[in-house]
Amino acid sequence: MKLVFTRFSVVLPTLILCLVTCKAPVNNKSGKPDDTRWIEELTIAQLQKGYKDGKYTVKDVVKVYLDRINEIDKNGPKLNSVIEVNPDALSIAEEIDKEIAKGKSAGPLLGVPVILKDNIDTHDKMPATAGATALRNSFPKTDSYVARKLREAGAVIIAKSNLSEWANFRAKMSSSGWSGIGGQTKNPYVLDRNPCGSSSGSGVAVSANLCMFAIGTETNGSIVCPSNNNGIVGIKPTVGLISRSGIIPISFTQDTPGPMARTVEDAAIALGALTGIDSSDSKTIASQGKSYTDYTKYLRKDGLKGKRIGLLKKSMGFSDSVDTLMTKAVAFLKSNGADVVNIELPKLPNYEDASSTVMLYEFKDGLNKYFKKTGVDSPVKNIKDLIEFNKSDSVELRYFDQSLLEQADKKGDLNSDEYKTALAVMTKATREDGIDKVMNTYKLDAIIAPTGSPAWKTDLILGDHFVGGSSSLAAISGYPAITVPMGFIDDLPVGITFFGKAWNEPVLLEIAYSYEQGTKHRKIPNYKISD
C-alpha cells in the first residue's frame, strides 16, 4: 500500500551456472557457461520452449536465479529486494523435472521461478512477515490462495521479497522499500534512488532479472508505483479477480494481489493462472463469468486500432519531463489507430480522505482477524500487541513512527456510522460518479495517465518525496489498471497507466500490449551509482 496522495536463510556457493548435465543456453550473451546473464529478459514462452527443447532443466534455471540473488541482491549492488530464499527451491525444481521427464508437462507456469511479496502466506520454510520483526518467526499453516494457484500452475516459489513494512500502512511518513526485517530496498537503475512501494522488492527483483515474474499487492499504488520506478509492467486487477485469502490485509475494499513482470505477455499469463472463485474471499464471487484463465488471447499488436481513450489532464503537470513523454505516448496511440480525447473529472467529494478512514477501520478489523485465523507462533495476537511490541523493539521505531497503527487501534468496528459513511462516499465518487460516468460520457475504452515521476532519492530521515502519480482513482474504486514503461528521464524509467471499468482487463491488455510492442521502452538496469 502506498498512498500517492499520499533472512536470507541460505549462503550460496561460488557462482556456477550449470551442473555437468546442463547444456549451455543458446542465448548466452557472453558465450561463457558460468555467466548468469543469459537469463536476462527471458520470457515465460522462451523459458518453456527451452525446457521442451532440452536446453536446460528447471533445476538449472532455478539455480541461476538463486545465484543471481546471491550475486546481485546480497552482494554486488546489494539491492536488498529479497527477504528470504526458499531453502527447498532446488528440490522442488528437481521434482518438476521428474514430472516433465515422465511426460506430465502441464500448467501455464510450468517451471517458472516466481517471487512473492512477503505479506503473502506460503506453507513452507519461509515465514510471512510483512517486513515486521514481530512476525520474524510467523510460519503460516496453509498456503495463501495465490501461492496454491501458482503451485498448481507449475511455478516454483523461490523467494519472498522485501516490502514497505506492513505494506506501508504504519507511519504517515516513511521510506518506501524499508522494513524492520529487510532494511532498505534499492532502485536497480540508480542505487540511491527509491524503488517505491509497497511492493518494492517484487518490482526490483523482476527488473533485475532475479525471477521470471513476481507477485505484489496493492491498496493504493503499491503495484503500479514500484512498476513505474523499476521499469516493468504491473497489473492491478479489479478487486475480486484474484483472492486475497492468506494475504496480510490492509483494506477489504481495496486490497488486491497482482502480477509484476518485464512484459505484458508474461503478466497476462500470470494473471490467468491466478483467477477463480474462493469461498474464503467473498469479493471473488462477483468475478463469476467475468474472469478468464487465459488472457493471452487479448494480446494483439493492433490492439489500439479503433480504441477511444481519454487522457486525464488533471494527472499531468507535476513534471515537464513526464509531460513530454506523455505527449509522445499520445502521439503514438493516435498514429496506431486510437482516438485520444482530453477528459476532466466532475467535481467530486474528497474520496481520498474517505478512503483513508475506511482503511483505518478495515486494517484493524482485517489484521486482528488474520492474527486470530493463522494462530502462528508470534509475540503479537492483535494490533494493540503489535503497537506495544514495536515500542520495545530496537529496530522498528528507529526511523519512523507507527501513527497509522495507533489511529487504526482507536477505531471501532465495521458497524460504525463513520466507517459506513466513508465507504459510501468513496465508492460512489470513484465508481458511479467517477470512472463509470466519465467513460460513459466520453464513450471511452480506457483512460490514460502518467503512472508517476522518476524515482526520488531515498531518504530515511525525511521519507518519500512524491511529486505526482495517478493510482488513487483506480485503486479506491477497485477497478483495474495496467502500467507499462513509457520511457526514461535521464537514467530513470517512468510508466504510463491504462485503467477503466471493473472487469475490463481484456480491453486494457489489448491496449497495453499494442503500446508496449510498438514502443519497447523497457531497458535492463545497470546499477548506477549517483555522481
**The domain spanning residue 203 has which CATH number?**
3.90.1300.10
Average pLDDT of the chain, as a whole number: 93
pLDDT band at residue 34 under the 50/70/90 scheme? low
pLDDT band at residue 374 under the 50/70/90 scheme? low
Percentage of the residues of the chain whose pLDDT score is greater than 90: 90
User: Does any domain span residue 20?
Assistant: no
pLDDT value at 13 more than 70: no
User: Does any domain span residue 191?
Assistant: yes
pLDDT digits (tens, 9 = 90+) for 187-196: 999 999 999 9
User: Does any domain span residue 129?
Assistant: yes
User: Does any domain span residue 29?
Assistant: no
Task: Give the residue-averaged pLDDT of 118-125.
Answer: 98
pLDDT digits (tens, 9 = 90+) for 452-475: 999 999 999 999 999 999 999 999
In this prediction, residue 199 carries a pLDDT of 98
Task: Give the residue-averaged pLDDT of 498-513.
Answer: 98
User: Does any domain span residue 28?
Assistant: no
In this prediction, residue 32 carries a pLDDT of 34
pLDDT value at 31 more than 70: no
The C-alpha atoms of residue 376 and residue 123 are separated, in whole angstroms, by 12
Question: Do the Cβ atoms of 106 and 155 come closer than 8 Å?
Answer: no
Longest CA–CA span in the chain (Å) reads: 67
pLDDT value at 146 more than 80: yes
Task: Give the residue-averaged pLDDT of 345-374.
Answer: 95
In this prediction, residue 104 carries a pLDDT of 79
Task: Spell out the alpha helix ranges (H) of 253-336.
Answer: 264-274, 320-335
The C-alpha atoms of residue 217 and residue 509 are separated, in whole angstroms, by 19
Question: Which is the catalytic residue, given 138, 198, 470, 514?
Answer: 198
Task: Give the residue-averaged pLDDT of 183-207.
Answer: 98
In this prediction, residue 162 carries a pLDDT of 98
In this prediction, residue 246 carries a pLDDT of 97
35 burial via Cβ count (<10 Å: 0-12, 13-18, 19+): middle
Task: Give the residue-averaged pLDDT of 172-185.
Answer: 97
In this prediction, residue 344 carries a pLDDT of 94
The C-alpha atoms of residue 418 and residue 425 are separated, in whole angstroms, by 11
Q: Determine if residue 71 is left, alpha or beta; phi over 0 gives left, psi from -120 to 50 gives alpha, anything else beta.
A: alpha
In this prediction, residue 7 carries a pLDDT of 27
pLDDT digits (tens, 9 = 90+) for 127-142: 999 999 999 999 999 9
The C-alpha atoms of residue 248 and residue 118 are separated, in whole angstroms, by 9
The C-alpha atoms of residue 188 and residue 515 are separated, in whole angstroms, by 24
User: Does any domain span residue 24?
Assistant: no
pLDDT band at residue 257 under the 50/70/90 scheme? very high
Task: Spell out the alpha helix ranges (H) of 221-319.
Answer: 224-229, 264-274
Question: Which is the catalytic residue, given 55, 59, 117, 149?
Answer: 117
User: Does any domain span residue 47?
Assistant: yes
Question: Do the Cβ atoms of 40 and 29 come closer than 8 Å?
Answer: yes
Q: Which of 7, 399, 378, 391 has its CA nearest to residue 182?
A: 7
180 burial via Cβ count (<10 Å: 0-12, 13-18, 19+): buried
In this prediction, residue 224 carries a pLDDT of 98
User: Does any domain span residue 32?
Assistant: no
pLDDT value at 377 more than 90: no
| Side chain identity, residue 300 | R
Whole-model pTM?
0.94
Q: With the CA atoms of 119, 165, 1 and 177 taken in that order, what torsion angle do they form, in degrees rounded to the nearest 10?
A: -110
DSSP-derived pairing of the beta strands 481-489 and 492-499: antiparallel
The C-alpha atoms of residue 406 and residue 384 are separated, in whole angstroms, by 8
**117: annotated active-site residue:** yes
In this prediction, residue 373 carries a pLDDT of 81
- Rounded to whole angstroms, what are the CA distances from 398 to 179, 186, 461? 11, 19, 10
In this prediction, residue 5 carries a pLDDT of 31
Domain membership of residue 270 as a residue range: 1-12+42-531
**198: annotated active-site residue:** yes
Task: Give the residue-averaged pLDDT of 17-30.
Answer: 35
Question: Do the Cβ atoms of 175 and 458 come closer than 8 Å?
Answer: yes
Number of domains into which the chain is organized:
1
Angle at which helices 351-374 and 383-392 cross, to 10°: 90
Question: Which is the catalytic residue, given 207, 222, 315, 319?
Answer: 222
pLDDT value at 3 more than 80: no
The C-alpha atoms of residue 425 and residue 407 are separated, in whole angstroms, by 20
Helix (H, G, I), strand (E, B) or coil at 379: coil
pLDDT digits (tens, 9 = 90+) for 259-274: 999 999 999 999 999 9
Beta-bridge mates of residue 310: 341, 447
In this prediction, residue 375 carries a pLDDT of 63
pLDDT digits (tens, 9 = 90+) for 61-106: 999 999 999 999 999 999 999 999 999 999 999 999 999 998 877 7
Please tell me the least confidently modeled range out of 93-102, 400-409, 473-482: 93-102
Percentage of the residues of the chain whose pLDDT score is greater than 70: 93
pLDDT digits (tens, 9 = 90+) for 292-343: 999 999 999 999 999 999 999 999 999 999 999 999 999 999 999 999 999 9
The C-alpha atoms of residue 431 and residue 331 are separated, in whole angstroms, by 29
